[in-house]
C-alpha cells in the first residue's frame, strides 16, 4: 500500500481547536470564506420608487450586516439540453455509485488473484507482547510523502495495542497515563461505540482482534491523527498497508496524542474508532455524515464538551451542510460543526433506535437516511407524505436557531432536547430605522442566511431566488453530457462494447471536463479484452502517471482539467486515445472514476465521444448502448429549489413558523411588526442536491 490514505481520517488542528477530518485532502487547509456567486438568474424587477436601488453585492440600508457576496448574473439557455432527463436532480440522487474496492481494483488492474486479495483467518495470530517492535509506514501531509518509523509496544489491553515511535526519533509518553487510556478504551470506548455503530473488521487482515493505536510524530502541521482504511488490506493489494486495524495519533508536543488520558486524547480515540467501525459497516460514506458520526461518537462516550466545532458553524451558518472543502487548514471546522449538529438533531427528533439503524446502514448518505426514516414510518407532519431531505433540512435550519426552545412542544421537530446550540450568526439585524432594506446575495446550497426583523409598523418581505443553478462551474456545456456523478469511496463506471474487428487502427476522441481531488481521486479510460475480467488503463492526451499517494492505477486524470494547481479553473479538453492495439478485436471500453473516502469534487464530464474509423459518434443525446453505473446523462442546468421560512414571535411571546409560498421562486409575506408581531427571524436556504455551486437571491423588506 502506498501513499493514498484512501479513507484517511485526519484530525485537523487550527487556532488551538482540535477537530477530526476524514481525509488529509492532500495539502494544507484554509479558513472557509464566503464564496463568490458565479452564476445566478434573477427576475427583472420593475422600477419601484418605494424601494431602494440594488447593485450586485450591495446592501442598501444602514443596518449592521455581514459583508455581502458579489454576484455575476448569467442566464441559462431557454430550453433544456437535448437528451437530458426531465428531472435531473432525481436522476442524480437516484443513481447508485459502485463502492471503491481496493481488492477488486487490484484484481482487475494489477493481476492479483482473488485468493491473494482475500482476507482469511482460519486461526488467530499470536498476540504481540509488550516490548515488541515493528515497522510502520506513515504519510506526512505537508510533503505528501511516505516515511517509515520503528515503534515499540508499550501497553496493551483486552482490545487495544498501544505502540509508541522508537526510531528514528524516540517519542516518550507518560506510561501511567497511557495505561489509564488503555483501561478507558477497554472499559468504555470500545463497548459503547460498538453498541451504537456496530463492529470493526475483526480479527481483520492481521488475524488479531486487537485495535492498534500508533503514537508517532512528523505527520504534518495540521494533522492530529488519522485512520487509513488501506491498512485493512493485504500488502499485495496495497503495498504501503500496515496490515491491521490501525489508527495513528500525532504525539508531538501539543498534538492529540501527546497527553494520554486527557479529554482531547480520549475523544480522539472515540472519534477514530468510529471511523474504523464505519469502514467495516458502511462502505460508501458521505464525508459530511461520516465526520458528524465521528463527533457524535465523542459525545456518546461523554466527551461532548470536546466538540467545539459547533461554534464555528454557528458563526458561519451559510456553510453548505452536505459537502467538504478540499483545502482547509482549520476551514472545515464549520463543516464538522454542521455534521455534528445534524446527527444530534436526528438523535433528538427521531430517537436512538432509528439513528442506530442509520448508523449501521451499508450506505451513509442522505438517500440512505431518508430510506431508514421511511422504513420506520416517518412522514412529513405537514403533508403525510414521505419526508424528503429538503424538508428535513428546513426543519433542521429552524432547530439550529431555536436551540432548546420549542415551537411545537413535545415533538423536537424545531428544537434540540439534549444539547444547547450557540446563537446562529445573522446576515442582518433590522430595526424600525432600517427599512426599506434591499440586498442581492449569493449562498451555498444547504446553507442558511438568517435575518432578524423588528420594528414598529408592518413590513412586506419580497423574495426572488435564482431559478436554475449550474451542475458544474463551466459555461461551455451546451447540451447533454455524460457525468460521473460524485461521491466518496466510489467507483462509477460507464461501459460499452466496441467492435474493432473491421479496422487495422482506431482512435477514441472525446471532450472531457474534470475536477478531482488532486493526487487522491482519479478518472481513467480503460479497456478489457476478456469480457471484463481484467482491464488495462489507457493513456489519453491529458492523463498523468504521477503517483505521489499511490492512488493512480496507471495514467489517470486528477486535479482540474487543463490546470496544474487545485485552485485552477477546469476547462473542456479535446482528448485522444490510440486504440491500435485492439484493432481486429471486440473490446469493452470504459470511463471510470475512483474516489477515496475523504473529499470529492465535481467529477468527470464526457461529451462528443467518437471512433472515426468505425463511424461511431455519440453526443450524449441518448444512452446509445452505454451501461451506466453511477453515471448520468445531464445538462449543466439544474432547477434551483429554495426554503424561505419565518419564525414569528407574537406579542404574547409565543413562537410560530411560517413558510413563504413561492411561484417561480418568488414570493411575498407581510408581517404585522409593531402590532400582533413582536419580532421575526427570516431564514433563507437554497436546497438543490447534486451541486456545490451557489445560488443567488434578491431580498427586499419594506
**3-state helix/strand/coil string of 660-699:** CCCECCEEEEEECECCCEEEEEEEEEECCCCCCCCEEEEE
Strand-strand pairing, 363-364 and 17-21: unpaired
Is the model more confident about 73 or about 387?
Answer: 387
* Strand spans (E) along 168-314: 211-216, 223-227, 246-250, 284-285
Q: If DSSP codes are grouped into helix, strand and coil, which group holds residue 113?
A: coil
pLDDT at residue 676, rounded to an integer: 97
Least confident of 105-109, 230-234, 477-481, 573-577: 477-481
Residue 131's Cβ-count burial label (10 Å; 0-12, 13-18, 19+) is exposed
Per-residue pLDDT, averaged over 236-251, amounts to: 96
Domains of the chain: 1-26+126-281 (no CATH), 42-75+426-470+637-702 (2.60.120.380), 308-424 (no CATH), 472-634 (2.60.120)
User: Which among 246, 422, 280, 259 has a CA at the least distance from the CA of 340?
Assistant: 422
- Confidence tier at 327 by pLDDT (50, 70, 90): low
pLDDT at residue 8, rounded to an integer: 37
d(CA 247, CA 352): 27
Using the predicted structure, report yes or no on whether residue 701 has a pLDDT greater than 60.
yes
d(CA 270, CA 249): 12
pLDDT at residue 330, rounded to an integer: 63
Q: What is the mean pLDDT of the chain?
A: 88
pLDDT at residue 27, rounded to an integer: 30
Write out pLDDT tens, residues 190-210. 999 999 999 999 999 999 999
Least confident of 47-61, 286-300, 362-376: 47-61
pLDDT at residue 15, rounded to an integer: 32
The answer to whether the CB of 309 falls within 8 A of the CB of 292 is no
d(CA 503, CA 614): 7
d(CA 555, CA 559): 13
Using the predicted structure, report yes or no on whether residue 28 has a pLDDT greater than 60.
no
Query: Which conformational region is residue 511 in: left (phi greater than 0), alpha (psi within -120 to 50 degrees), or beta?
Result: beta
pTM of the model: 0.89
Residue identified by cell 426531465 is 86
Using the predicted structure, report yes or no on whether residue 224 has a pLDDT greater than 80.
yes
d(CA 462, CA 460): 6
- Confidence tier at 142 by pLDDT (50, 70, 90): confident
User: Which among 119, 98, 22, 105 has a CA at the least distance from the CA of 284?
Assistant: 98
Using the predicted structure, report yes or no on whether residue 674 has a pLDDT greater than 70.
yes
Write out pLDDT tens, residues 372-404. 999 999 999 999 999 999 999 999 999 999 999
Per-residue pLDDT, averaged over 582-604, amounts to: 96
- Confidence tier at 285 by pLDDT (50, 70, 90): confident
- Confidence tier at 81 by pLDDT (50, 70, 90): low
pLDDT at residue 144, rounded to an integer: 78
Percent share of the chain, pLDDT over 90: 79
Per-residue pLDDT, averaged over 407-432, amounts to: 96
Strand-strand pairing, 666-671 and 459-465: antiparallel
| Omega before 317 within 30 of 0, i.e. cis | no
pLDDT at residue 146, rounded to an integer: 86
- Confidence tier at 328 by pLDDT (50, 70, 90): low
Contacts of 566 (CB under 8 A, 6+ apart): 27, 326, 327, 518, 559, 560
Using the predicted structure, report yes or no on whether residue 549 has a pLDDT greater than 90.
no
Residue 456's Cβ-count burial label (10 Å; 0-12, 13-18, 19+) is exposed
Amino acid at each position: 500500500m502506498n501513499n493514498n490514505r484512501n479513507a484517511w481520517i485526519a484530525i485537523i488542528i487550527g487556532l488551538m481547536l482540535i477537530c477530526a477530518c476524514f481525509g488529509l485532502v492532500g495539502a494544507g487547509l484554509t479558513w472557509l470564506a464566503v464564496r463568490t456567486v458565479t452564476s445566478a438568474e434573477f427576475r427583472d424587477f420593475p422600477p419601484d420608487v418605494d424601494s431602494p436601488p440594488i447593485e450586485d453585492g450591495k446592501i442598501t440600508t444602514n443596518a449592521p450586516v455581514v459583508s455581502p457576496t458579489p454576484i455575476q448574473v448569467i442566464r441559462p439557455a431557454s430550453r433544456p439540453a437535448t437528451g437530458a432527463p426531465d428531472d435531473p436532480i432525481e436522476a442524480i440522487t437516484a443513481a447508485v455509485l459502485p463502492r471503491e474496492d481496493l481488492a477488486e481494483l487490484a484484481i482487475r488492474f494489477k493481476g492479483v488473484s482473488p485468493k491473494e486479495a482475500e482476507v482469511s483467518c482460519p486461526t488467530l495470530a499470536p498476540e504481540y507482547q509488550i516490548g515488541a517492535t515493528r515497522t510502520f509506514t506513515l504519510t506526512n501531509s505537508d510533503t505528501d510523502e511516505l516515511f517509515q518509523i520503528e515503534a515499540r509496544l508499550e501497553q496493551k489491553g483486552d482490545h487495544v495495542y498501544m505502540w509508541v515511535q522508537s526510531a528514528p526519533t524516540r517519542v516518550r509518553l507518560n506510561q501511567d497515563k497511557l495505561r489509564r487510556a488503555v483501561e478507558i478504551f477497554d472499559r468504555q470506548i470500545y463497548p459503547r461505540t460498538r453498541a451504537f455503530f456496530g463492529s470493526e473488521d475483526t480479527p481483520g487482515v492481521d488475524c488479531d482482534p486487537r485495535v492498534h493505536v500508533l503514537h508517532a510524530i512528523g505527520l504534518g502541521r495540521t494533522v492530529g491523527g488519522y485512520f487509513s482504511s488501506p491498512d485493512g488490506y493485504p500488502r499485495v493489494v496495497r503495498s504501503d498497508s500496515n496490515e491491521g486495524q490501525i489508527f495513528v495519533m500525532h504525539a508531538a508536543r501539543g498534538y492529540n496524542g501527546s497527553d494520554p488520558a486527557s479529554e482531547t486524547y480520549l475523544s480522539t480515540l472515540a472519534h477514530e474508532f468510529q471511523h474504523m467501525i464505519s469502514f467495516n459497516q458502511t462502505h460508501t460514506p458521505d464525508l459530511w455524515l461520516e465526520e458528524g458520526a465521528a463527533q457524535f461518537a465523542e459525545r456518546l462516550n461523554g466527551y461532548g464538551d470536546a466538540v467545539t466545532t459547533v461554534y464555528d458553524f454557528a458563526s458561519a451558518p451559510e456553510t453548505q451542510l452536505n459537502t467538504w472543502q478540499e483545502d482547509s487548514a482549520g476551514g472545515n471546522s464549520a463543516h464538522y460543526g454542521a455534521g455534528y449538529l445534524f446527527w444530534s438533531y436526528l438523535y433528538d427528533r427521531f430517537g436512538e433506535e432509528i439513528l442506530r439503524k442509520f448508523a449501521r446502514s451499508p450506505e451513509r448518505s442522505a438517500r440512505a437516511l431518508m430510506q431508514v426514516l421511511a422504513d420506520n414510518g416517518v412522514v412529513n407532519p405537514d403533508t403525510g407524505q414521505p419526508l424528503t431531505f429538503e424538508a428535513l433540512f428546513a426543519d433542521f435550519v429552524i432547530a439550529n436557531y431555536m436551540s432548546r426552545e420549542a415551537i411545537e412542544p413535545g415533538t423536537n421537530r424545531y428544537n434540540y432536547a439534549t444539547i444547547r446550540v450557540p446563537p446562529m450568526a445573522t446576515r442582518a439585524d433590522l430595526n424600525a430605522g432600517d427599512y426599506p432594506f434591499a440586498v442581492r446575495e449569493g449562498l451555498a446550497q444547504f446553507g442558511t442566511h438568517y435575518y432578524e426583523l423588528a420594528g414598529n409598523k408592518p413590513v412586506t418581505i419580497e423574495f426572488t431566488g435564482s431559478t436554475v443553478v449550474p451542475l458544474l462551474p463551466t459555461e461551455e456545456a451546451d447540451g447533454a453530457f455524460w457525468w460521473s456523478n460524485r461521491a466518496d469511496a466510489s467507483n462509477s463506471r460507464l461501459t460499452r462494447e466496441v467492435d474493432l474487428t473491421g479496422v487495422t487502427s482506431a482512435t477514441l476522441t472525446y471532450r472531457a471536463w474534470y475536477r478531482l481531488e488532486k493526487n487522491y481521486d482519479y478518472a481513467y479510460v480503460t479497456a478489457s479484452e476478456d469480457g471484463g475480467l481484467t482491464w488495462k488503463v489507457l493513456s489519453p492526451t491529458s492523463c498523468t502517471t504521477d503517483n505521489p499517494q499511490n492512488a493512480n492505477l496507471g495514467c489517470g486524470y486528477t486535479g482540474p482539467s487543463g490546470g496544474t494547481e487545485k485552485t485552477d479553473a477546469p476547462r473542456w479538453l479535446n482528448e485522444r486515445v490510440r486504440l491500435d492495439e485492439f484493432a481486429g478485436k471486440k473490446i469493452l471500453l470504459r470511463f471510470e472514476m475512483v474516489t477515496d473516502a475523504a473529499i470529492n469534487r465535481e467529477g468527470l464530464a464526457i461529451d462528443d465521444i467518437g471512433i472515426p474509423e468505425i463511424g461511431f459518434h455519440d453526443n450524449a443525446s441518448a444512452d446509445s448502448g452505454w451501461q451506466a453505473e453511477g453515471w448520468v446523462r445531464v445538462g449543466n442546468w439544474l432547477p434551483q429549489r429554495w426554503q424561505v421560512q419565518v419564525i414569528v414571535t407574537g406579542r404574547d411571546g409565543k413562537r410560530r413558523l411560517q413558510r413563504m409560498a413561492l411561484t417561480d421562486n418568488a414570493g411575498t409575506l407581510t408581517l404585522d411588526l409593531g402590532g400582533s408581531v413582536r419580532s421575526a427571524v427570516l431564514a433563507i436556504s437554497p436546497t438543490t442536491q447534486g451541486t456545490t455551486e451557489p445560488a443567488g437571491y434578491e431580498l427586499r423588506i419594506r
